């Protein structure tokens, strides 16, 4: 260190070590209680080890909305909740492609997918930095997304915004504790709860985050993000996965996919109609019922009470769609 340039060399070594750590799944698993991408990796890791047949894919509204144990009780299918807060179709495609390389959709494993769609699924953005770890590099290159491609190769730069959150005292303390002991992510380990995290008022999504999620709700779908959605559908169909679509419930408005009286809903209804034309079932669970505020953690997410009721409703709909073989 006393030699000229020794400090710079030492700093470069530290940076290189940090960069290499970010290229391992074990880093995210270690700090799954600190970073949203870590909780996602906890789900991915659980999916590669659990006997799952029915996979729920979506964003935080799926994450909070359906209890896989109640779905299994009704459908007799081992279910897993792969709701990823803040994820759009581009991120969901990258996650699904990653799972496919791990053999999750191989014969004898997952063969049914319930896909939750709201307007934010089709909006541009990755505020939680998932793409750094799950984006499909070949797709990024073919789509000329060179900034995202660069961030995947140099993750300290791409994930820098999330690492800066360690300046928050509470998060920094959690980071240090996770360095020497096992700390489960908020809501519990995916191996135990099969990915489900019930919504709680002010705990997982605050009003500011909800407003951010709703900010682009009335915007038309982003063309590039929508293209990733159709790639996701194609990938699942190529793996002979049976797909069904549903629209998460909202307390104060109808989903644009179902709002035929709203001109801004036209591009979303077009997506729904295309799915129906492809022979993909679209399930409408509870949209015509009066919403009860007691069943919502906030205007966009169900709480445990709501998730319990609508999990049972969804289970019955899935059982009608995919009857248990042998009448069991």
Residue 8 has pLDDT above 60, yes or no: yes
Q: How far apart are CA 5 and CA 216, in angstroms?
A: 49
pLDDT band with cut points at 50, 70 and 90 for residue 206: low
The model's pLDDT over 66-86, given as tens digits with 9 standing for 90+, comes to 999 999 999 999 999 999 999
Q: What is the predicted pLDDT for the residue at 328?
A: 46
Q: What is the predicted pLDDT for the residue at 327?
A: 45
Backbone angles phi, psi at 180, to 5 degrees: -125, 0
Residue 209 has pLDDT above 70, yes or no: no
Looking at per-residue pLDDT, the higher value among 159 and 325 belongs to 159
Q: What is the predicted pLDDT for the residue at 295?
A: 93
Winning range, highest mean pLDDT, from 8-17, 184-193, 210-219, 312-321: 312-321
Nearest residue to 58 (alpha-carbon basis) of 314, 291, 316: 314
Helices 304-321 and 68-75 sit at what angle, rounded to 10 degrees?
30
Q: Is 11 helix (H, G, I), strand (E, B) or coil?
A: helix
Looking at per-residue pLDDT, the higher value among 307 and 210 belongs to 307
Q: What is the predicted pLDDT for the residue at 213?
A: 61
Q: Which domains does the chain have, with CATH numbers?
A: 36-140+186-327 (3.40.50.1110)
Mean model confidence pLDDT for the chain: 91
**In degrees, to the nearest 5, what angle opens at C-alpha 119 toward C-alphas 46 and 114?**
40
Residue 163 has pLDDT above 90, yes or no: yes
The model's pLDDT over 84-105, given as tens digits with 9 standing for 90+, comes to 999 999 999 999 999 999 999 9
pTM over 0.75, yes/no: yes
What tokens does 119 get? 């307007």
From 86-95, 178-187, 303-312, the region with the lowest mean pLDDT: 178-187
Residue 59 has pLDDT above 50, yes or no: yes
pLDDT band with cut points at 50, 70 and 90 for residue 5: confident
What tokens does 170 get? 């509470």
Residue 11 has pLDDT above 50, yes or no: yes
Q: What is the predicted pLDDT for the residue at 320?
A: 95
């Amino acid at each position: 260190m006393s030699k000229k340039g020794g400090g710079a060399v030492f700093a470069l070594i530290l940076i290189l070590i940090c960069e290499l750590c970010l290229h391992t799944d074990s880093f995210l698993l270690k700090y799954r209680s600190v970073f949203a991408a870590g909780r996602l990796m906890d789900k991915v890791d659980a999916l590669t080890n659990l006997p799952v047949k029915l996979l729920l894919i979506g964003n935080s509204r799926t994450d909070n909305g359906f209890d896989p144990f109640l779905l299994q009780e009704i459908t007799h299918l081992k279910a897993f909740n792969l709701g990823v807060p803040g994820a759009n179709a581009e991120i969901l495609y990258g996650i699904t492609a990653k799972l496919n390389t791990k053999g999750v959709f191989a014969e004898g494993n997952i063969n049914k997918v319930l896909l939750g769609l709201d307007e934010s699924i089709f909006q541009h953005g990755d505020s939680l930095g998932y793409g750094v770890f799950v984006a499909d590099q070949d797709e990024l290159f073919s789509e000329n997304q060179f900034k995202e491609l660069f961030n995947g190769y140099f993750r300290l730069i791409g994930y820098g915004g999330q690492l800066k959150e360690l300046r928050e005292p509470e998060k920094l303390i959690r980071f240090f504790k996770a360095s020497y002991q096992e700390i489960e992510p908020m809501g519990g380990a995916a191996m135990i709860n099969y990915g489900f995290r019930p919504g709680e008022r002010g705990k997982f999504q605050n009003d500011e985050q909800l407003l951010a999620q709703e900010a682009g709700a009335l915007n038309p779908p982003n063309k590039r993000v929508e293209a990733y959605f159709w790639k996701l559908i194609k990938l699942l169909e190529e793996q002979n996965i049976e797909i069904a679509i549903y629209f998460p419930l909202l307390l104060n408005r109808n989903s644009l996919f179902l709002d035929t009286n709203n001109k801004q809903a036209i591009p979303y209804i077009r997506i729904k109609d295309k799915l129906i034309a492809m022979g993909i079932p679209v399930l409408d669970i509870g949209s015509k019922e009066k919403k009860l505020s007691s069943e919502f953690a906030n205007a966009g997410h169900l709480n445990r009470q709501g998730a319990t009721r609508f999990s049972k409703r969804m289970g019955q709909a899935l059982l009608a769609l995919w009857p248990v073989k042998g009448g069991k």
